Amino acid sequence: MLLLRSEREVFATETSQGFDLMRDNLPPTVVFGWKFAGNAAVTSTCQWNLSNTPNQAARLRTSLPEWMYALKAVALPKRHGLRARLKGLGVVAGIAIAAAAVFALTHILKQIDYAEVLEAVRHTNASHIVLALVLVAISYGSLTLYDVLALRTIERTDVPYRIAALASFTSYPIAHGVGAVSLISPVIRYRIYSWNGLGVVDVANICFLTGLTFWLGNLTALALSLLAEPGAISHLEYLTPPVTRLLAVALLLGIVGFLLWSWLSPRSFGNRRWSVRLPSGPVVLLQIAIGIVDLGAAALAMYVLIPGGMNIGIFRLTAVFIAAILLGFASHAPAGIGVFDATILIGLGDADKEPLIAALLVFRFLYHLLPFVIALGLLGVVEAMRVLRARNLP
């Protein structure tokens, strides 16, 4: 029996030819939650144009496969609340960040000698490029542990490491390269994990937990870098070193507070349809360590590409690098293009920017473009193998 209902009213009943939708009860916009037995709902929004004929029910004629009759469709009124307003603010903030970065980058590039930039790229030490490539590999290798920790937290240790590594390595470069991280990353992960029995809710939990690891690592590394070099982001935020140091201490205290809170007892939030189990204290500590390794390796990859004569300290570079990563992420620009570059040039470039731009171009190739191409090819090969395997099944 397939029943369409809300918490108070029945909107539709099954007939031999389809479903009778009650015109007086059914709102013009409803959200359907297709609920499997024992699992949380997967929702989608539908719009109905109902007849204005008095006392006449609108009929939805459908031809459903047999397995659909094992589902229960729950219709809920569509809600526009705080979440929608926050998404709108996020979009506005992203556009504002991108616009400001493009303006700043355009102003900087007007004074650049591009012939000198190309010459600096050609004269980049080959051993430095190899070392940077190794550090990039370490960074992406640590990213695979994000998914491993998330799978352990949701108690899906049966998923092998190679699947977690595949989901991580394909989702991150492609999603960041396209720019729609919150949309592309879950889709790729679901495509890979679904073959191992994980559902939509499981993948949503994994995406949340990997994002938590990302932010814990970023914020911890940023706070430590600012404590060591409080003047690192003075070009970005116009903050004095004492204020920056206070902000770094406050950030660290917040992270330590979250660590202690998660260590005392198991934590979770959400509702019965979608509940997220937070990692335990030891796992949070491991998340922070892995996040620092990830970001530290990426920052070191750029550090070895910058000419030594520029006298840029590692803590200053790390702080500016993390700020560039976060601003690029907030802008939703593909690979943070424009935003990441402007932040690096403003935060690290004093007078001679040509060598810094050369190092930035080489880093972009090693850290963004190369993994993006490899991830696309790997995902294509996996999908092709699955199609061939499906065709060979009896």
SS3 (DSSP) at 3 = coil
Q: What is the tens place of the pLDDT at every residue in 77-86? A: 444 455 555 4
Q: Per the structure block, which two tokens stand in for 261?
A: 């809170």
Residue spans of the domains in the chain: they are: 4-77, 82-265+272-389
pTM listed for this prediction: 0.70
Tell me: the pLDDT tens digits for 291-342?
Answer: 899 989 999 999 999 887 777 888 888 888 988 888 887 777 787 788 888 8
Nearest one of 346, 301, 334, 274 to 142, comparing CA atoms:
301
Give the C-alpha separation, 117 to 336, whole Å. Answer: 21
CA distance 140 to 165: 9
Q: What is the mean pLDDT of residues 106-129?
A: 81
Q: How far is CA 183 from CA 97, 212, 311, 383, in A?
A: 20, 17, 40, 19
CB 348 within 8 A of CB 305: no
* Mean of pLDDT over the chain: 75
